[in-house]
Homo-oligomer: A and B are copies of this chain.
C-alpha cells in the first residue's frame, strides 16, 4: 500500500488496504508512528487478522508514546488482530521461506528458533553469526514492544512447532508473568530453552525503558522462574548463540564426566580442567584400559590420564584416534577435543582427519571442539560446525556450553 504510487517493484499498489478486493492475510506496517493507528484500524475494517508493526515511536519514547501505544492496544483488541511489534524488526520463517525482516543476512534452515525483544540482536547479530557459521534457524520473532502478541504467545507456538529443536529468547520485560512461566515450563519439558534477560540491573532497566518501554521487573523473580522451569539462563549474546548451537548439534550427555583431549599443549588441558571444575563438571581419570591404549600411540612423556595431551608430536589423525579412545571409555560422558586448526602447516592433512572425526557422532556422546583460529580461517572448522560439532575459541567457552547440556540432561532425568 502506498497512497502516492500505483506500482511498487512492478506489483500493483493500492492507496489503502480497504481498496484491495480480497481479504489480505498479513499486513506489514512501516508507516510513521502518527499513521499507525489509522492504518491498523483500516486493516481491522478490511477483515485482516494479522499484522507486523515495524514502526518505532511508541511506549519506548515516553508519555506521549505510551498514550499512542494504549490507543494501538485498543484497536488490536477491538478487531482481534494478532499483532507483532510495534518497534520491531519483523518475522522470519526459514521453513516456509518467509522473510519479513530487514535483516541484511539470512541464516540457513535449521532447528533453532529465536524470540527477541531486540531486533538488532536477532537480525544483525544472530543471523550474521548463523550465516557465517552455517548454523540453521527455523523461526525468528522480533517481538519489540509487545503491544499485541508477546513472548509467551511465541513460546507457546514454538513449544508445539516440530521444526524447532531449541528455543533462544532475549527478553527485556515479561508482559504476563503467569502465562509466560506456564509457556516456559511447557516448552522446557520438550526442548531446551536458552534465555537472556536485558534489564537485570537498575541501570539496565532504565535502558530498557527507552528501548522497548516495558518493565524489566524483579530479576530475582525472573531467575527463580527460569530455574524452576528448567530454562538455561545466560548473560551474553555469544553465550546465547554458542549454547543454542551446541544443543542443536550435539546429544545430551548421560552425566557430567568430561574427557579432555589436547593436541594443542598441556596448558589448554589445564585451562579446560579448571573451567570444567568451576562449572560443576568432573574430569575423572581415564580407565586403566584407556590409559594403556593412549600410552600405546603416544610418546612416553605425553600425559594420558585425562587430560590426554598429544604434545607437539601432534598429527590430526592421532587427535581423532585419541578422541575416539576417550569416547570409548565407559566412565566418560562427553569429550572436549582441542587440536583442529592449531597448526596451519597441518591443515592439508586435517581435511581427511575431520572426515573421520564427524563419524564419532556414532558414540552418542557430545564432542565439542576448541581452536584459537578466531577467523574461522580453515575450511575444516567450517566442516565441523556444518556437521553439528560446535567450535569454540577457548576451553572455558566449550565447558560453559557443555555444562548447559549436562544441566539440561539432569533436569530431564528429574522431570
Residues of A within 8 A of B (CB): 33, 56-57, 60-61, 65, 102, 104-105, 116-121, 124-125, 128-129, 132, 170, 172, 196, 198-204, 206-208, 210-212, 235-238, 260, 264-278, 282-283, 300-301, 303, 305, 307, 309, 311-312, 342-345, 372-376, 393-397
Contacts and interface: CB of A to CB of B under 8 A. Distances in A.
Given A210-B305, A265-B119, A305-B210, A199 B270 contact: yes
A211 B374 contact: no
B396 A278 contact: no
Which of A102, A128, A270, A282 counts the most chain B CB atoms within 10 A? A270
| Copies held by the complex | 2
Nearest to A120: B265
B170 A267 contact: yes
Contact of A238 (B33, B65, B282, B394): B394
23 contacts: A60-B303, A104-B344, A117-B267, A118-B268, A118-B270, A119-B267, A121-B265, A124-B343, A125-B372, A129-B374, A196-B271, A203-B274, A204-B277, A207-B260, A207-B274, A208-B270, A210-B305, A211-B270, A211-B303, A235-B396, A236-B394, A237-B393, A237-B394
Contacts of A202: 277
Contacts of A373: 128
Contact of A277 (B60, B203, B211, B238): B203
A274 B307 contact: no
A274 B375 CA distance: 28
A299 to B, nearest CB: 8
Which of A105, A172, A274, A312 counts the most chain B CB atoms within 10 A? A274
B211 A274 contact: no
B203 A238 contact: no
Contacts of A272: 207
A100 to B, nearest CB: 15
A273 B207 contact: yes
Contacts of A260: 207
A235 to B, nearest CB: 7
B206 A273 contact: yes
Which of A129, A201, A278, A376 counts the most chain B CB atoms within 10 A? A201
A202 B344 CA distance: 34
A45 to B, nearest CB: 27
A372 B118 CA distance: 14
Contacts of A235: 396
Contact of A120 (B301, B303, B342): B342
Given A266-B212, A394-B238, A203 B132 contact: no
B198 A372 contact: no
A266 B118 contact: yes
Given A118-B270, A342-B124, A278 B394 contact: no
Contact of A207 (B33, B196, B269, B397): B269
Nearest to A235: B396
Nearest to A56: B301
B56 A311 contact: yes
Nearest to A238: B394
Given A264-B124, A277-B202, A301-B57, A207 B270 contact: yes
Contacts of A268: 118, 120-121
Given A199-B274, A210-B307, 9 more contacts: A60-B301, A120-B266, A120-B342, A203-B277, A203-B282, A207-B260, A210-B266, A238-B393, A238-B394
B124 A265 contact: yes
Nearest to A123: B265
Contacts of A345: 104
A267 B60 CA distance: 12
A265 B118 contact: yes
